[in-house]
Amino acid sequence: MKNRKITPRRQPPLTTLLLTAALAAAPALAQEKISNGVVKIGVMNDLTGLYSDLGGKSSIDAARMAIEDFGGKVAGKPIELVFADHQNKADIASSRAREWFDKDHVDVIVDLVNSSAALAVAKLARDSKKLVLVSGGGATRLTNEDCSPNTIHWTYDTYSLANGTARAMVKQGLDSWYFITADYAFGHSLEKDAGDVVKEAGGKLVGSVRHPFPGTDFSSFLLQAQASGAKVVGLANAGPDMNNTIKQANEFGVVPKQSLAALLVFIDEIHSMGLKNTQGMYLTTGFYWDMNDQTRTFARRFFERNKRMPNMVHAGIHSAVTHYLKAIQAAGTDDSAAVIAKMKATPVNDFFAKNGRIRDDGRMMHDMYLMQVKKPSESKYPWDYYSVRQVIPAEQAFLPVAKSVCPLLKKK
């Protein structure tokens, strides 16, 4: 048998091997840019309790509208919406958020009405390197002492509410205040911020009392407020607590001898209590449906689905979710760090905010509005409730950088 010459097989060049490997890996890498092939948004709020009218199912619908308006997909992948009831309890909110992040692959949690729940979820999001977009929670702590690179506070906070309403009332000579405060994070924050504004404006604090959250009988607290002789009874509470305090204040004759300052009022509550009971009241808001053609267009679409006009929480959710989706589209990934960076680098221009921007502490900077509730004779059509008394520019509305203790802010 003759020996055959064996010719070694020619190996492809190294560059060819690398190119082949890269092409083979490309589909997997593209898939990884959108984790698990879907962008999952979770709305967490109060669906059955005290704040269900302020957020609740209408907040879910606001997020759903934003997803539909975006086309149902982002970066070529579907957008999925899930929701949960935190029952106004921080431990339930934290437990559900952990399950969403670890097991259900939720990318972002939005709304979070109730500040205690919002603070708990924000801490978990930071540890999990996930993102929260707070619209319903109000504590300024979210972007101050408890600020996080993973928290964006979109709609309002207790500083902006107090800064608008309290400052305006002190300027009118209503300069002595007594607070009735809900005994949890939001109420404490609102009382502190409003009290600071009152003192800065030249007023004085006569006293305060804290009521259980939630509460029903406010008679003893109102009697203490009456006995204080303060010109203003500041209500550092919200939802049914605030509504019941106002109703019982009228029953006990607190008004008109003393003025009420409801520091967080939603248009739903004005609608429920009626103009007769709320006329002349000052309030601060981040959104009013009847401001311009853009706000009216959104509001009418929202009304068709919910049979109510949107409050600022609902409008803020639509705005925040839309901005989040735009950031994913621009970044080409749903990686939280990349998306947050893109959101902060991109101005917010929509029906909710003009020339808005997200500050390094996570505070979405936008104008706020001082409103006065109309008299019944001044209202010309349904939900025509407010007169704009002042546009408060963003830099004046929210906590100044110089006063913040957030380490994320670079102070000049």
Span 60-89, average pLDDT: 97
Per-residue pLDDT at 250: 85
- pLDDT (0 to 100) of residue 30: 40
Average pLDDT, the chain: 91
pLDDT of residue 87: 94
Q: Distance between CA atoms of 44 and 136, rounded to whole angstroms?
A: 10
C-beta separation of 211 from 218 below 8 A: yes
- With a pLDDT cut of 70, the percent of the chain lying above it is 92
pLDDT in the model for residue 287:
98
Q: Identify the CATH class of 159-285+369-396.
A: alpha beta
Q: For residue 381, name the pLDDT band (cuts at 50, 70, 90).
A: very high
pLDDT(21) > 90 = no
Give bridge partners of residue 39 from the DSSP assignment: 79
Has residue 375 got a pLDDT over 90? yes
Lowest mean pLDDT among 8-22, 60-74, 149-163: 8-22
Span 58-70, mean pLDDT? 98
Label residue 279 by pLDDT band (50, 70, 90): confident
The type of residue at 368 is M
What's the pTM value of the predicted model, to 2 decimals?
A: 0.87
Residue 32's pLDDT band, with cuts at 50, 70 and 90, is low
Mean pLDDT in residue range 78-101: 97
Identify the CA nearest to 60 among candidates 71, 72, 44.
44
Tokens describing residue 153 = 């506070």
- For residue 44, pLDDT over 90 is answered with yes
What is the pLDDT at residue 19? Answer: 44
Given a cut of 60, whether residue 6 has pLDDT beyond it is no
Has residue 97 got a pLDDT over 90? yes
Once rounded to an integer, what is the mean pLDDT over residues 120-136?
97
DSSP annotation of 217 reads: -
Q: Are strands 282-285 and 357-358 parallel, antiparallel or unpaired?
A: unpaired
Q: What share of the chain is helix, strand, coil (3-state, %, to 5)?
A: 45, 20, 35
Question: Is it the case that residue 1 has pLDDT exceeding 70?
Answer: no
Question: In sequence order, what DSSP letters do the residues of 44-113 get, joined into one string?
Answer: EE-SSSTTTTTSHHHHHHHHHHHHHHHTSEETTEEEEEEEEE-TT-HHHHHHHHHHHHHTS---EEEE--
- Distance separating alpha carbons of residues 122 and 383, to the nearest angstrom: 34
pLDDT computed for residue 168 by the predictor: 87
pLDDT class of 411 with cuts at 50, 70, 90: low
Whether 15 has a pLDDT exceeding 60, the answer reads no
Name the H helices within 107-210: 115-128, 158-171, 185-200
Half-sphere exposure of 265 (CA within 13 A, CB side): 32
pLDDT band at 13 (very low <50, low <70, confident <90, very high): low
366 — phi, psi (to 5°)?
-150, 165
Phi, psi of 101 (to 5 degrees): -70, -45
Examine the pLDDT at 403 and tell me if it is beyond 80: yes
Check: CB of residue 116 under 8 Å from CB of residue 87.
no
Burial class (CB in 10 A: 0-12, 13-18, 19+), 324: buried
pLDDT of residue 3: 47
Do 115 and 135 form a contact (C-beta atoms < 8 A)?
A: no
Mean pLDDT of 48-75: 94
Pick the CATH number of 37-156+291-366 from 3.20.20.70, 3.30.1330.10, 3.30.470.10, 3.40.50.2300: 3.40.50.2300
Lowest pLDDT segment from 63-72, 271-280, 288-297, 384-393 = 271-280
Q: Give pLDDT, residue 412.
A: 52
- 8 has pLDDT over 70: no
Residues of the chain with CATH 3.40.50.2300: 37-156+291-366, 159-285+369-396
Which of these, 267, 355, 358, 266, lies nearest to 320 by C-alpha position? 358
pLDDT of amino acid 5: 47
User: How confident is the model over 98-119, as a mean pLDDT?
Assistant: 96
Out of 19-28, 215-224, 252-261, 356-365, least confident range: 19-28
pLDDT band at 51 (very low <50, low <70, confident <90, very high): confident
